[in-house]
Structure 1
Amino acid sequence: MQAKGEFDITRVPQESLDIGGGAVVGHMRFDKRFHGPLDASSVVHMLAMMSPVSGSGAYVALERIEGTLDGRVMDRGAPRLDLTVVPDSGTGELAGLHGRIAIDIVDGRHHYTFDYGFRDT
């Protein structure tokens, strides 16, 4: 199934966030209004960080949508978490670091698996 339509967006800049070591994360709020088969409104909060290498960076966003369409926010109740190293964010001996981290919770204890590598800088 597929739904297509238009949406309006209003950008509302928020205060930047200090994450230590002189790094700053941009914070933006988006208010959206969807038209068509998806008749809904939403609020999005996005955090974004650019690396010192031109054109490299990453962002993460959470969006809450309220409206009418047969759909689910989660994959049949299973939460999902994606963690990725921000491209070109490694410094010093970690320059060129890339990878993904998986988080598992077993018997109340948190475990991680970090698949990583290094690119030539």
Structure 2
Amino acid sequence: MPTTHAAGTFEVKLAPQAVTFEESGLGRLSIDKVFQGDLQATSKGEMLAHRTAVQGSAGYVAMERVDGTLNGRAGTFVLQHSGTMNRGVQQLALTVVPDSATGELEGLSGSMKIIIEGGQHSYEFEYELRAES
């Protein structure tokens, strides 16, 4: 399967949500995104995060359902996020949940990179579309 590259920008809105266990130190946020570029889509998701007492150290996990077109193919898929910041050094993995894609995106796999520069969010998405058997 050949790997395909997609790139563009996105706008994101994070909104704090109620947390069931306040003493846990966890924060819960809703995610709303609008993607432009090779991915023309909207997404909705949920994030669970924790910021430590040490400046620049935190972690988060999230699930995000994307609905739109990827290089002209329509459908949905789910992205799984796992992010850690260790005293300002960021490590982030965004991967397509296996077998989560629908429509013309069925068989989608891949990973996305998020870039934040000057307050602007952009993405680079390396993906493969498995051919139907």
TM-score (norm 1): 0.51
- Structure 1 partner of 2:124: none
- Structure 2 partner of 1:14: 17
Secondary structure, aligned partner of 2:7: coil
TM-superposed CA distance for 1:63, in Å, is 0.5
What amino acid is the match of 2:41? A
Over 3 Å counting, the alpha-carbon distance change for 1:30 and 1:48 in structure 2 is same
Secondary structure, aligned partner of 1:35: strand
What amino acid is the match of 1:51? T
RMSD: 2.4
Q: Which runs of 4+ in 1 moved over 4 A?
A: none
What amino acid is the match of 1:44? G
Q: Which runs of 5+ in 1 are unaligned?
A: 78-121
Over 3 Å counting, the alpha-carbon distance change for 1:18 and 1:6 in structure 2 is same
TM-superposed CA distance for 1:11, in Å, is 2.0
Secondary structure, aligned partner of 1:2: strand
- Structure 2 partner of 1:110: none
Q: Which has the higher contact order (CA 8 A, sep 6+)?
A: 2
Following the alignment from structure 2 to structure 1, what is the Cα–Cα distance between the partners of residues 20 and 58?
16
**How many residue pairs end up in the alignment?**
75
* 1:75-98, Cα deviation, whole Å (9 max, x unpaired): 467xxxxxxxxxxxxxxxxxxxxx
TM-superposed CA distance for 1:50, in Å, is 2.3
Which runs of structure 2 are paired with 1:99-118 in the superposition (5 Å)?
Answer: none
* 1:63-113, Cα deviation, whole Å (9 max, x unpaired): 100111259633467xxxxxxxxxxxxxxxxxxxxxxxxxxxxxxxxxxxx
Over 3 Å counting, the alpha-carbon distance change for 1:35 and 1:68 in structure 2 is same
- Structure 1 partner of 2:59: 58
Following the alignment from structure 1 to structure 2, what is the Cα–Cα distance between the partners of residues 10 and 28?
10
TM-superposed CA distance for 1:8, in Å, is 1.3
Following the alignment from structure 1 to structure 2, what is the Cα–Cα distance between the partners of residues 68 and 51?
38
More strand by share: 2
Following the alignment from structure 2 to structure 1, what is the Cα–Cα distance between the partners of residues 50 and 20?
10
Could you tell me whether the CA contact under 8 Å between 1:17 and 1:27 is conserved in 2? no
Following the alignment from structure 2 to structure 1, what is the Cα–Cα distance between the partners of residues 26 and 53?
13
TM-superposed CA distance for 1:37, in Å, is 1.0
